[in-house]
Structure 1
Amino acid sequence: MTATPAEIAARALPLVDLTNLNDDCAPADIEELCRRAVTPHGPVAAVCIWPRFVAQAVRLLGGTGVRVATVVNFPAGGEDTLAVVRETERALADGADEIDLVMPYRAFVAGRRGFAEEQIVRVRAAAPQPALLKVILETGEIGDPLLIHLASEVAIDAGADFIKTSTGKVPVNATLEAAEIMLNLIEAIRREGGREIGFKPAGGIRSLDDVAAYLALADRIVGANWVSAATFRFGASGLLDALLAAIDGGTGEAGEGY
Protein backbone atom coordinates (compact mmCIF):
# COMPACT_ATOMS: atom_id res chain seq x y z
CA MET A 1 0.00 0.00 0.00
CA THR A 2 1.32 3.43 -0.94
CA ALA A 3 2.26 5.61 2.02
CA THR A 4 0.47 8.92 2.42
CA PRO A 5 2.41 12.20 2.43
CA ALA A 6 1.86 12.47 6.17
CA GLU A 7 3.24 8.95 6.72
CA ILE A 8 6.31 9.64 4.58
CA ALA A 9 6.96 12.88 6.43
CA ALA A 10 6.51 11.25 9.84
CA ARG A 11 8.99 8.55 8.83
CA ALA A 12 11.54 11.12 7.65
CA LEU A 13 11.34 13.60 10.50
CA PRO A 14 13.46 11.61 13.00
CA LEU A 15 16.07 11.04 10.26
CA VAL A 16 16.87 14.72 9.69
CA ASP A 17 20.23 16.30 10.47
CA LEU A 18 18.92 19.85 10.72
CA THR A 19 21.69 21.94 9.26
CA ASN A 20 22.99 25.49 9.40
CA LEU A 21 26.35 25.80 7.69
CA ASN A 22 25.80 29.29 6.38
CA ASP A 23 28.91 31.46 6.30
CA ASP A 24 27.13 34.17 8.30
CA CYS A 25 25.69 31.84 10.95
CA ALA A 26 25.60 33.52 14.36
CA PRO A 27 24.79 32.36 17.92
CA ALA A 28 21.20 33.59 17.56
CA ASP A 29 20.80 31.34 14.51
CA ILE A 30 21.99 28.36 16.54
CA GLU A 31 19.45 29.17 19.25
CA GLU A 32 16.70 29.13 16.63
CA LEU A 33 18.02 25.96 15.00
CA CYS A 34 18.09 24.11 18.32
CA ARG A 35 14.60 25.34 19.16
CA ARG A 36 13.29 24.04 15.84
CA ALA A 37 15.04 20.68 16.29
CA VAL A 38 12.46 19.63 18.87
CA THR A 39 9.15 19.74 17.01
CA PRO A 40 5.55 19.10 18.10
CA HIS A 41 5.87 15.78 16.24
CA GLY A 42 9.12 14.74 17.87
CA PRO A 43 12.81 15.62 17.62
CA VAL A 44 15.06 15.44 14.60
CA ALA A 45 18.09 13.14 14.73
CA ALA A 46 20.74 15.85 15.05
CA VAL A 47 21.74 19.39 14.34
CA CYS A 48 24.73 19.83 12.03
CA ILE A 49 26.65 23.07 12.62
CA TRP A 50 30.05 24.74 12.43
CA PRO A 51 32.53 23.60 15.10
CA ARG A 52 32.55 27.01 16.81
CA PHE A 53 28.92 26.51 17.85
CA VAL A 54 29.18 22.98 19.25
CA ALA A 55 29.41 23.93 22.93
CA GLN A 56 26.40 26.25 22.58
CA ALA A 57 24.30 23.57 20.88
CA VAL A 58 25.27 20.94 23.44
CA ARG A 59 24.07 23.25 26.19
CA LEU A 60 20.81 24.12 24.43
CA LEU A 61 19.95 20.53 23.48
CA GLY A 62 20.76 18.81 26.75
CA GLY A 63 18.11 16.25 27.62
CA THR A 64 16.29 16.47 24.28
CA GLY A 65 17.81 13.40 22.62
CA VAL A 66 18.95 15.52 19.65
CA ARG A 67 22.57 14.81 18.81
CA VAL A 68 25.13 17.46 17.92
CA ALA A 69 27.03 16.92 14.67
CA THR A 70 29.74 19.17 13.31
CA VAL A 71 31.86 19.39 10.18
CA VAL A 72 35.62 19.18 9.76
CA ASN A 73 37.77 19.82 6.70
CA PHE A 74 34.64 21.57 5.45
CA PRO A 75 33.84 22.37 2.75
CA ALA A 76 37.11 22.29 0.83
CA GLY A 77 38.27 18.76 1.61
CA GLY A 78 41.81 20.01 2.12
CA GLU A 79 45.04 18.16 2.76
CA ASP A 80 46.23 19.49 6.13
CA THR A 81 45.50 16.31 8.05
CA LEU A 82 47.04 17.53 11.32
CA ALA A 83 44.76 20.57 11.29
CA VAL A 84 41.74 18.37 10.60
CA VAL A 85 42.65 16.08 13.49
CA ARG A 86 43.01 19.08 15.83
CA GLU A 87 39.65 20.42 14.63
CA THR A 88 38.09 17.04 15.40
CA GLU A 89 39.61 16.84 18.86
CA ARG A 90 38.37 20.34 19.75
CA ALA A 91 34.85 19.55 18.57
CA LEU A 92 34.70 16.38 20.64
CA ALA A 93 36.07 18.21 23.68
CA ASP A 94 33.22 20.70 23.24
CA GLY A 95 30.74 17.82 23.32
CA ALA A 96 30.08 16.89 19.68
CA ASP A 97 28.45 13.49 19.19
CA GLU A 98 29.11 13.18 15.46
CA ILE A 99 31.83 14.29 13.06
CA ASP A 100 31.07 14.92 9.38
CA LEU A 101 34.47 14.82 7.65
CA VAL A 102 35.00 15.95 4.06
CA MET A 103 37.42 13.46 2.61
CA PRO A 104 40.23 15.04 0.58
CA TYR A 105 38.38 14.23 -2.59
CA ARG A 106 40.62 16.19 -4.95
CA ALA A 107 43.62 14.19 -3.77
CA PHE A 108 41.56 11.02 -4.20
CA VAL A 109 40.49 11.90 -7.76
CA ALA A 110 44.12 12.73 -8.59
CA GLY A 111 45.04 9.15 -7.72
CA ARG A 112 46.25 9.68 -4.14
CA ARG A 113 43.98 7.08 -2.63
CA GLY A 114 46.38 6.32 0.21
CA PHE A 115 46.49 9.94 1.29
CA ALA A 116 42.70 10.18 1.40
CA GLU A 117 42.47 6.93 3.33
CA GLU A 118 45.13 7.99 5.83
CA GLN A 119 43.32 11.22 6.64
CA ILE A 120 40.12 9.33 7.41
CA VAL A 121 42.04 6.80 9.52
CA ARG A 122 43.62 9.62 11.51
CA VAL A 123 40.29 11.34 12.14
CA ARG A 124 38.73 8.01 13.11
CA ALA A 125 41.51 7.53 15.67
CA ALA A 126 40.81 11.01 17.04
CA ALA A 127 37.08 10.28 17.18
CA PRO A 128 36.70 6.76 18.58
CA GLN A 129 33.34 5.18 19.30
CA PRO A 130 30.82 6.16 20.52
CA ALA A 131 31.47 9.24 18.37
CA LEU A 132 29.89 8.77 14.96
CA LEU A 133 32.06 9.42 11.90
CA LYS A 134 30.33 10.39 8.66
CA VAL A 135 32.61 10.79 5.66
CA ILE A 136 31.51 13.22 2.94
CA LEU A 137 32.63 11.99 -0.47
CA GLU A 138 31.52 15.04 -2.50
CA THR A 139 30.07 12.75 -5.16
CA GLY A 140 29.08 15.57 -7.50
CA GLU A 141 32.72 16.60 -7.80
CA ILE A 142 33.99 13.02 -8.12
CA GLY A 143 31.48 12.38 -10.90
CA ASP A 144 32.66 9.01 -12.24
CA PRO A 145 30.43 6.19 -10.91
CA LEU A 146 33.39 3.83 -10.54
CA LEU A 147 35.27 6.44 -8.51
CA ILE A 148 32.21 7.07 -6.33
CA HIS A 149 32.12 3.34 -5.61
CA LEU A 150 35.85 3.30 -4.85
CA ALA A 151 35.63 6.40 -2.65
CA SER A 152 32.85 4.71 -0.69
CA GLU A 153 35.03 1.64 -0.20
CA VAL A 154 37.98 3.77 0.91
CA ALA A 155 35.88 5.63 3.46
CA ILE A 156 34.35 2.46 4.87
CA ASP A 157 37.67 0.62 5.03
CA ALA A 158 39.18 3.61 6.87
CA GLY A 159 36.49 3.46 9.57
CA ALA A 160 33.50 5.54 8.45
CA ASP A 161 30.22 4.80 10.22
CA PHE A 162 28.29 6.63 7.50
CA ILE A 163 29.06 7.61 3.94
CA LYS A 164 27.57 10.95 2.94
CA THR A 165 27.10 12.32 -0.56
CA SER A 166 27.88 16.00 -0.39
CA THR A 167 28.67 19.23 1.41
CA GLY A 168 25.81 21.15 -0.18
CA LYS A 169 28.42 23.72 -1.26
CA VAL A 170 29.13 22.58 -4.83
CA PRO A 171 27.08 22.74 -8.06
CA VAL A 172 26.02 19.05 -7.96
CA ASN A 173 25.15 17.64 -4.56
CA ALA A 174 23.02 14.60 -3.64
CA THR A 175 21.70 12.59 -6.58
CA LEU A 176 19.77 9.36 -6.73
CA GLU A 177 22.43 7.97 -9.06
CA ALA A 178 25.19 8.44 -6.48
CA ALA A 179 22.89 7.21 -3.72
CA GLU A 180 22.25 3.98 -5.61
CA ILE A 181 25.97 3.29 -5.92
CA MET A 182 26.56 3.93 -2.24
CA LEU A 183 23.55 1.96 -1.03
CA ASN A 184 24.43 -1.02 -3.21
CA LEU A 185 27.86 -1.16 -1.58
CA ILE A 186 26.32 -0.90 1.89
CA GLU A 187 24.00 -3.78 1.07
CA ALA A 188 26.85 -5.87 -0.37
CA ILE A 189 28.80 -5.45 2.85
CA ARG A 190 25.74 -6.47 4.86
CA ARG A 191 25.23 -9.59 2.73
CA GLU A 192 28.84 -10.57 3.35
CA GLY A 193 28.37 -10.27 7.11
CA GLY A 194 30.28 -7.01 7.45
CA ARG A 195 29.51 -4.17 9.82
CA GLU A 196 26.51 -1.89 9.42
CA ILE A 197 27.26 1.28 7.46
CA GLY A 198 24.89 4.24 7.33
CA PHE A 199 24.04 6.55 4.44
CA LYS A 200 23.41 10.30 4.38
CA PRO A 201 22.25 12.17 1.29
CA ALA A 202 22.80 15.91 1.68
CA GLY A 203 22.45 18.99 -0.46
CA GLY A 204 19.36 19.94 -2.46
CA ILE A 205 16.88 17.76 -0.55
CA ARG A 206 14.00 20.16 0.00
CA SER A 207 10.65 18.51 -0.70
CA LEU A 208 8.59 15.50 0.26
CA ASP A 209 9.07 14.13 -3.24
CA ASP A 210 12.84 14.19 -2.69
CA VAL A 211 12.44 12.41 0.63
CA ALA A 212 10.11 9.77 -0.81
CA ALA A 213 12.52 9.02 -3.66
CA TYR A 214 15.50 8.42 -1.36
CA LEU A 215 13.50 6.34 1.10
CA ALA A 216 12.10 4.22 -1.72
CA LEU A 217 15.61 3.66 -3.07
CA ALA A 218 16.90 2.57 0.33
CA ASP A 219 13.92 0.30 0.86
CA ARG A 220 14.45 -1.34 -2.52
CA ILE A 221 18.19 -1.89 -2.14
CA VAL A 222 18.73 -2.51 1.57
CA GLY A 223 15.24 -3.50 2.72
CA ALA A 224 12.15 -1.85 4.12
CA ASN A 225 13.19 -2.40 7.73
CA TRP A 226 16.71 -0.98 7.39
CA VAL A 227 16.09 2.76 7.52
CA SER A 228 16.41 4.32 10.98
CA ALA A 229 18.34 7.21 12.49
CA ALA A 230 21.13 4.73 13.21
CA THR A 231 21.56 3.97 9.50
CA PHE A 232 20.06 6.80 7.46
CA ARG A 233 20.06 10.60 7.73
CA PHE A 234 18.91 13.46 5.55
CA GLY A 235 21.23 16.45 5.64
CA ALA A 236 19.08 19.52 5.06
CA SER A 237 18.30 23.01 6.25
CA GLY A 238 15.10 23.70 4.32
CA LEU A 239 13.38 20.32 4.63
CA LEU A 240 11.89 20.52 8.12
CA ASP A 241 9.10 22.95 7.25
CA ALA A 242 8.01 20.75 4.36
CA LEU A 243 7.88 17.68 6.61
CA LEU A 244 5.92 19.44 9.32
CA ALA A 245 3.47 20.82 6.78
CA ALA A 246 2.89 17.35 5.35
CA ILE A 247 2.35 15.83 8.80
CA ASP A 248 -0.14 18.58 9.53
CA GLY A 249 -2.00 17.88 6.29
CA GLY A 250 -0.18 20.11 3.80
CA THR A 251 1.59 19.16 0.60
CA GLY A 252 5.18 18.92 1.77
CA GLU A 253 6.40 21.05 -1.11
CA ALA A 254 9.77 22.65 -1.39
CA GLY A 255 11.38 24.58 1.41
CA GLU A 256 14.35 26.86 1.01
CA GLY A 257 17.98 25.99 1.59
CA TYR A 258 20.58 23.24 1.68
Structure 2
Amino acid sequence: MELLSPREVASFALSLLDLTNLRDDCDAAAIEKLCERAQTPAGSTAAICIWPRFVAQARGILGADSKVKIATVVNFPSGELPVETVVAETSQAIADGADEIDLVIPYRAFLAGDEDAVTTMVSAVRAACGPTTLKVILETGELKDSGKIRRASELAIAAGADFIKTSTGKVQVNATLEAADIMLQVIRDSRKNVGFKPAGGISSVADADLYLRLAETIMGANWLMPSTFRFGASGLLDDILSVLNGGASARVSSAY
Protein backbone atom coordinates (compact mmCIF):
# COMPACT_ATOMS: atom_id res chain seq x y z
CA MET A 1 0.00 0.00 0.00
CA GLU A 2 1.43 3.32 -0.99
CA LEU A 3 2.17 5.50 1.99
CA LEU A 4 -0.97 7.49 2.66
CA SER A 5 -1.17 10.45 4.99
CA PRO A 6 -3.32 10.04 8.10
CA ARG A 7 -5.93 12.30 6.49
CA GLU A 8 -6.03 10.12 3.37
CA VAL A 9 -6.43 6.98 5.47
CA ALA A 10 -9.17 8.68 7.50
CA SER A 11 -11.07 9.74 4.39
CA PHE A 12 -10.82 6.25 2.91
CA ALA A 13 -11.87 4.59 6.18
CA LEU A 14 -14.93 6.86 6.33
CA SER A 15 -16.15 5.50 2.99
CA LEU A 16 -15.77 1.92 4.30
CA LEU A 17 -17.42 2.38 7.71
CA ASP A 18 -20.54 0.60 8.94
CA LEU A 19 -21.37 3.06 11.72
CA THR A 20 -22.81 0.86 14.42
CA ASN A 21 -25.16 1.14 17.37
CA LEU A 22 -25.99 -2.29 18.77
CA ARG A 23 -26.08 -1.17 22.37
CA ASP A 24 -28.66 -2.81 24.59
CA ASP A 25 -30.02 0.62 25.52
CA CYS A 26 -30.34 1.90 21.94
CA ASP A 27 -33.57 3.81 21.36
CA ALA A 28 -35.31 5.82 18.65
CA ALA A 29 -33.48 9.01 19.59
CA ALA A 30 -30.13 7.23 19.27
CA ILE A 31 -31.08 5.99 15.79
CA GLU A 32 -32.00 9.50 14.72
CA LYS A 33 -28.60 10.71 15.91
CA LEU A 34 -26.81 7.79 14.22
CA CYS A 35 -28.43 8.56 10.86
CA GLU A 36 -27.38 12.18 11.23
CA ARG A 37 -23.80 11.27 12.19
CA ALA A 38 -23.48 8.92 9.21
CA GLN A 39 -23.78 11.90 6.86
CA THR A 40 -20.75 14.04 7.68
CA PRO A 41 -19.44 17.20 5.97
CA ALA A 42 -16.48 15.07 4.83
CA GLY A 43 -18.72 12.45 3.23
CA SER A 44 -21.05 9.62 4.23
CA THR A 45 -20.29 6.32 5.86
CA ALA A 46 -20.93 3.19 3.80
CA ALA A 47 -23.74 2.07 6.10
CA ILE A 48 -25.26 2.15 9.53
CA CYS A 49 -25.61 -1.15 11.42
CA ILE A 50 -28.54 -1.35 13.83
CA TRP A 51 -30.98 -3.67 15.59
CA PRO A 52 -33.79 -4.98 13.36
CA ARG A 53 -36.48 -3.15 15.33
CA PHE A 54 -35.07 0.20 14.17
CA VAL A 55 -34.75 -0.54 10.43
CA ALA A 56 -38.10 0.96 9.43
CA GLN A 57 -37.36 4.11 11.41
CA ALA A 58 -33.92 4.48 9.84
CA ARG A 59 -35.35 3.96 6.36
CA GLY A 60 -37.86 6.72 7.02
CA ILE A 61 -35.09 9.08 8.12
CA LEU A 62 -32.59 8.28 5.37
CA GLY A 63 -35.07 7.88 2.54
CA ALA A 64 -35.21 5.38 -0.27
CA ASP A 65 -32.29 6.77 -2.26
CA SER A 66 -29.77 7.36 0.52
CA LYS A 67 -26.11 6.64 -0.16
CA VAL A 68 -25.95 5.27 3.39
CA LYS A 69 -26.95 1.61 3.42
CA ILE A 70 -28.93 0.13 6.29
CA ALA A 71 -27.42 -3.05 7.74
CA THR A 72 -29.06 -5.04 10.49
CA VAL A 73 -28.24 -8.13 12.53
CA VAL A 74 -29.97 -11.51 12.78
CA ASN A 75 -29.34 -14.50 15.05
CA PHE A 76 -27.50 -11.87 17.07
CA PRO A 77 -25.50 -12.04 19.22
CA SER A 78 -25.94 -15.61 20.49
CA GLY A 79 -25.99 -17.47 17.17
CA GLU A 80 -28.41 -19.92 18.77
CA LEU A 81 -31.86 -19.14 17.35
CA PRO A 82 -33.74 -21.72 15.25
CA VAL A 83 -33.25 -21.42 11.50
CA GLU A 84 -36.93 -20.63 10.87
CA THR A 85 -36.81 -17.79 13.42
CA VAL A 86 -33.73 -16.29 11.76
CA VAL A 87 -35.26 -16.58 8.30
CA ALA A 88 -38.38 -14.78 9.54
CA GLU A 89 -36.20 -12.11 11.18
CA THR A 90 -34.34 -11.66 7.90
CA SER A 91 -37.47 -11.41 5.76
CA GLN A 92 -39.02 -8.84 8.10
CA ALA A 93 -35.85 -6.74 8.15
CA ILE A 94 -35.71 -6.67 4.36
CA ALA A 95 -39.42 -5.75 4.20
CA ASP A 96 -38.69 -2.90 6.63
CA GLY A 97 -35.97 -1.56 4.33
CA ALA A 98 -32.69 -3.26 5.23
CA ASP A 99 -30.05 -3.29 2.48
CA GLU A 100 -27.69 -5.68 4.25
CA ILE A 101 -28.07 -8.58 6.69
CA ASP A 102 -25.31 -9.42 9.20
CA LEU A 103 -25.90 -13.03 10.31
CA VAL A 104 -24.22 -14.76 13.26
CA ILE A 105 -23.39 -18.39 12.53
CA PRO A 106 -24.29 -21.03 15.16
CA TYR A 107 -20.70 -20.92 16.33
CA ARG A 108 -21.22 -22.95 19.49
CA ALA A 109 -22.71 -25.80 17.46
CA PHE A 110 -19.79 -25.48 15.05
CA LEU A 111 -17.31 -25.69 17.94
CA ALA A 112 -19.09 -28.87 19.05
CA GLY A 113 -18.39 -30.39 15.64
CA ASP A 114 -21.62 -29.60 13.78
CA GLU A 115 -20.49 -28.08 10.48
CA ASP A 116 -23.90 -28.74 8.94
CA ALA A 117 -25.45 -26.24 11.37
CA VAL A 118 -23.39 -23.48 9.75
CA THR A 119 -24.17 -24.55 6.20
CA THR A 120 -27.88 -24.93 6.91
CA MET A 121 -28.19 -21.53 8.61
CA VAL A 122 -26.19 -19.58 6.03
CA SER A 123 -27.90 -21.28 3.08
CA ALA A 124 -31.37 -20.60 4.49
CA VAL A 125 -30.66 -16.93 5.17
CA ARG A 126 -28.96 -16.60 1.78
CA ALA A 127 -32.18 -17.82 0.16
CA ALA A 128 -34.25 -15.39 2.24
CA CYS A 129 -31.95 -12.48 1.33
CA GLY A 130 -32.29 -12.77 -2.43
CA PRO A 131 -30.20 -9.89 -3.82
CA THR A 132 -29.75 -8.32 -0.37
CA THR A 133 -26.13 -8.35 0.81
CA LEU A 134 -25.38 -11.09 3.35
CA LYS A 135 -22.50 -10.63 5.79
CA VAL A 136 -21.75 -13.71 7.89
CA ILE A 137 -20.33 -13.21 11.39
CA LEU A 138 -17.99 -15.99 12.53
CA GLU A 139 -17.31 -14.75 16.10
CA THR A 140 -13.61 -15.46 15.67
CA GLY A 141 -12.74 -14.50 19.26
CA GLU A 142 -14.77 -17.50 20.41
CA LEU A 143 -13.52 -19.85 17.67
CA LYS A 144 -9.93 -18.96 18.69
CA ASP A 145 -8.17 -21.77 16.81
CA SER A 146 -6.80 -20.76 13.41
CA GLY A 147 -8.00 -23.98 11.81
CA LYS A 148 -11.55 -23.40 13.06
CA ILE A 149 -11.52 -19.79 11.81
CA ARG A 150 -10.36 -21.03 8.42
CA ARG A 151 -12.99 -23.77 8.26
CA ALA A 152 -15.83 -21.49 9.36
CA SER A 153 -14.76 -19.01 6.68
CA GLU A 154 -14.80 -21.74 4.04
CA LEU A 155 -18.24 -22.97 5.09
CA ALA A 156 -19.73 -19.47 5.10
CA ILE A 157 -18.38 -18.68 1.64
CA ALA A 158 -19.51 -22.02 0.21
CA ALA A 159 -23.03 -21.41 1.55
CA GLY A 160 -23.34 -18.03 -0.13
CA ALA A 161 -21.88 -15.27 2.07
CA ASP A 162 -21.24 -11.97 0.31
CA PHE A 163 -18.94 -10.94 3.19
CA ILE A 164 -17.35 -12.75 6.09
CA LYS A 165 -17.14 -10.72 9.29
CA THR A 166 -15.04 -11.32 12.37
CA SER A 167 -17.21 -10.51 15.34
CA THR A 168 -20.38 -9.33 17.02
CA GLY A 169 -18.49 -6.89 19.25
CA LYS A 170 -20.29 -8.56 22.17
CA VAL A 171 -17.59 -10.98 23.37
CA GLN A 172 -14.25 -10.50 25.10
CA VAL A 173 -12.10 -10.84 21.97
CA ASN A 174 -13.39 -9.27 18.77
CA ALA A 175 -11.51 -8.33 15.59
CA THR A 176 -7.81 -9.21 15.52
CA LEU A 177 -5.24 -8.94 12.76
CA GLU A 178 -4.51 -12.65 13.19
CA ALA A 179 -8.12 -13.62 12.42
CA ALA A 180 -8.24 -11.08 9.59
CA ASP A 181 -5.17 -12.63 8.01
CA ILE A 182 -6.75 -16.11 7.99
CA MET A 183 -10.11 -14.90 6.68
CA LEU A 184 -8.58 -12.83 3.90
CA GLN A 185 -6.47 -15.79 2.79
CA VAL A 186 -9.60 -17.94 2.58
CA ILE A 187 -11.35 -15.26 0.51
CA ARG A 188 -8.36 -15.06 -1.83
CA ASP A 189 -8.15 -18.84 -2.17
CA SER A 190 -11.89 -19.16 -2.84
CA ARG A 191 -11.56 -17.02 -5.99
CA LYS A 192 -15.04 -15.74 -5.25
CA ASN A 193 -16.17 -12.13 -5.03
CA VAL A 194 -16.50 -12.12 -1.25
CA GLY A 195 -15.84 -9.17 1.03
CA PHE A 196 -14.34 -8.86 4.51
CA LYS A 197 -15.52 -6.94 7.57
CA PRO A 198 -13.46 -6.65 10.74
CA ALA A 199 -15.72 -5.53 13.60
CA GLY A 200 -15.39 -4.79 17.28
CA GLY A 201 -12.69 -2.74 18.98
CA ILE A 202 -11.43 -0.82 15.94
CA SER A 203 -11.52 2.71 17.27
CA SER A 204 -8.73 4.69 15.61
CA VAL A 205 -7.48 5.58 12.15
CA ALA A 206 -4.17 4.00 13.16
CA ASP A 207 -6.01 0.73 13.85
CA ALA A 208 -7.89 0.97 10.57
CA ASP A 209 -4.67 1.55 8.62
CA LEU A 210 -3.26 -1.78 9.86
CA TYR A 211 -6.28 -3.69 8.54
CA LEU A 212 -6.24 -1.84 5.22
CA ARG A 213 -2.56 -2.64 4.71
CA LEU A 214 -3.08 -6.30 5.58
CA ALA A 215 -6.03 -6.58 3.18
CA GLU A 216 -4.12 -4.94 0.36
CA THR A 217 -1.12 -7.21 0.91
CA ILE A 218 -3.30 -10.31 0.57
CA MET A 219 -5.95 -9.17 -1.91
CA GLY A 220 -4.21 -6.52 -4.01
CA ALA A 221 -4.38 -2.76 -4.41
CA ASN A 222 -7.68 -2.53 -6.29
CA TRP A 223 -9.69 -4.78 -3.97
CA LEU A 224 -10.36 -2.28 -1.21
CA MET A 225 -13.74 -0.65 -1.80
CA PRO A 226 -17.13 -0.57 -0.01
CA SER A 227 -18.40 -3.57 -1.98
CA THR A 228 -15.61 -5.77 -0.60
CA PHE A 229 -14.35 -4.17 2.62
CA ARG A 230 -16.11 -2.65 5.62
CA PHE A 231 -15.21 -1.68 9.15
CA GLY A 232 -17.82 -2.39 11.80
CA ALA A 233 -17.33 0.18 14.53
CA SER A 234 -19.12 2.60 16.82
CA GLY A 235 -16.18 4.74 17.93
CA LEU A 236 -14.04 4.91 14.78
CA LEU A 237 -15.97 7.83 13.29
CA ASP A 238 -14.90 10.16 16.10
CA ASP A 239 -11.22 9.52 15.38
CA ILE A 240 -11.76 9.80 11.61
CA LEU A 241 -13.34 13.22 12.00
CA SER A 242 -10.63 14.31 14.43
CA VAL A 243 -7.91 13.37 11.93
CA LEU A 244 -9.77 15.03 9.04
CA ASN A 245 -9.94 18.19 11.16
CA GLY A 246 -6.17 18.18 11.61
CA GLY A 247 -5.78 16.19 14.81
CA ALA A 248 -3.62 13.14 15.41
CA SER A 249 -5.09 9.66 15.46
CA ALA A 250 -5.56 8.05 18.82
CA ARG A 251 -2.97 5.44 19.75
CA VAL A 252 -3.42 1.98 18.32
CA SER A 253 -5.65 0.10 20.75
CA SER A 254 -4.30 -2.90 22.62
CA ALA A 255 -7.35 -4.98 21.63
CA TYR A 256 -8.56 -4.88 18.08
State the TM-score, normalizing by the size of structure 1. Answer: 0.95
Amino acid at match of 1:116: V
Alignment partners' CA distance in 1, 2:251 and 2:210? 14
Alignment partners' CA distance in 1, 2:145 and 2:252? 30
Query: In the TM superposition, what is the alpha-carbon distance from 1:132 to its structure 2 partner?
Result: 0.2
Question: What is the aligned partner in structure 2 of residue 3 from structure 1?
Answer: 4
Alignment partners' CA distance in 2, 1:37 and 1:101? 22
Q: 2:82 aligns with which of 72, 80, 83?
A: 80
Residue pair 1:239, 1:255 contacting (<8 A) in 2 also? no
Alignment partners' CA distance in 1, 2:55 and 2:242? 29
Query: In the TM superposition, what is the alpha-carbon distance from 1:255 to its structure 2 partner?
Result: 11
Q: Which moved more, 1:112-121 or 1:46-55?
A: 112-121
Alignment partners' CA distance in 2, 1:146 and 1:98? 28
Residue pair 1:241, 1:255 contacting (<8 A) in 2 also? no
Alignment partners' CA distance in 2, 1:168 and 1:162? 17
Aligned 1:141-156 pairs, distance under 5 A: 141-156=142-157
Q: 1:250 aligns with which of 234, 247, 251?
A: 247
Question: What is the aligned partner in structure 1 of residue 236 from structure 2?
Answer: 239
Aligned 1:123-162 pairs, distance under 5 A: 123-129=125-131, 131-162=132-163
Residue pair 2:13, 2:205 contacting (<8 A) in 1 also? no
Q: 1:207 aligns with which of 182, 191, 204?
A: 204
Residue pair 1:140, 1:173 contacting (<8 A) in 2 also? yes
Question: What is the aligned partner in structure 2 of residue 67 from structure 1?
Answer: 69
Q: Deviations over 1:92-129 (max 9, x none)?
A: 11010000000000001111001121011011111111
State the TM-score, normalizing by the size of structure 2. Answer: 0.96
Alignment partners' CA distance in 2, 1:121 and 1:2? 40
- What secondary structure, in the 3-state scheme, does the structure 1 residue paired with 2:215 have? helix
Query: In the TM superposition, what is the alpha-carbon distance from 1:79 to its structure 2 partner?
Result: 4.0
Q: Deviations over 1:194-218 (max 9, x none)?
A: x200000000000111101000000
Question: What is the aligned partner in structure 2 of residue 113 from structure 1?
Answer: 115
Amino acid at match of 1:234: F
- What secondary structure, in the 3-state scheme, does the structure 2 residue paired with 1:99 have? strand
**How much is the aligned-residue C-alpha RMSD, in angstroms?**
1.4
Amino acid at match of 1:115: A
Amino acid at match of 2:230: R
After TM superposition, what 4+ stretches of structure 1 lie above 3 angstroms from structure 2?
none
Query: In the TM superposition, what is the alpha-carbon distance from 1:64 to its structure 2 partner?
Result: 2.8
Alignment partners' CA distance in 1, 2:81 and 2:143? 16
Question: What is the aligned partner in structure 1 of residue 164 from structure 2?
Answer: 163
Q: 2:194 aligns with which of 187, 192, 197?
A: 197
- What secondary structure, in the 3-state scheme, does the structure 1 residue paired with 2:124 have? helix
Alignment partners' CA distance in 2, 1:249 and 1:4? 11
Question: What is the aligned partner in structure 1 of residue 59 from structure 2?
Answer: 58
Residue pair 1:239, 1:254 contacting (<8 A) in 2 also? no
Amino acid at match of 1:8: V
Q: Which moved more, 1:111-120 or 1:160-169?
A: 111-120
Residue pair 2:207, 2:252 contacting (<8 A) in 1 also? no
Alignment partners' CA distance in 2, 1:64 and 1:245? 25
Residue pair 2:206, 2:252 contacting (<8 A) in 1 also? no
Question: What is the aligned partner in structure 1 of residue 33 from structure 2?
Answer: 32
- What secondary structure, in the 3-state scheme, does the structure 1 residue paired with 2:164 have? strand
Amino acid at match of 1:180: D
Residue pair 1:77, 1:105 contacting (<8 A) in 2 also? yes
Distance 1:254 1:64, change over 3 A: farther
Q: Deviations over 1:162-219 (max 9, x none)?
A: 00000000000000000000001111123xxxx2000000000001111010000001
5+ residue gaps, structure 1, are none
